[in-house]
Amino acid sequence: MPLYVLVPLAAAIAVIGYYLPLLGIPLAAFLAVDIAVSEIARRRATTPAA
């Protein structure tokens, strides 16, 4: 995910999490998992086959 998308998205999640704490925790967890999965997929796609 590009940084110019990730920063506003993280800010929006932080605001939502501030006002709706029970909703904010699962959203933050989803964002963390989504970023981790996309990073792994990106690295696997750019790694040359041995």
pTM above 0.75, yes or no: no
Q: Give me the pLDDT at residue 33, please.
A: 94
Higher pLDDT, 46 or 7: 7
Which range marks the domain in which residue 21 is found? 3-46
Number of domains in the chain: 1
Handedness of CA 15, 20, 23, 25 (dihedral sign): positive
Average pLDDT of the segment spanning 14-37: 82
With left for phi above 0 and alpha for psi between -120 and 50, is residue 8 left, alpha or beta? alpha
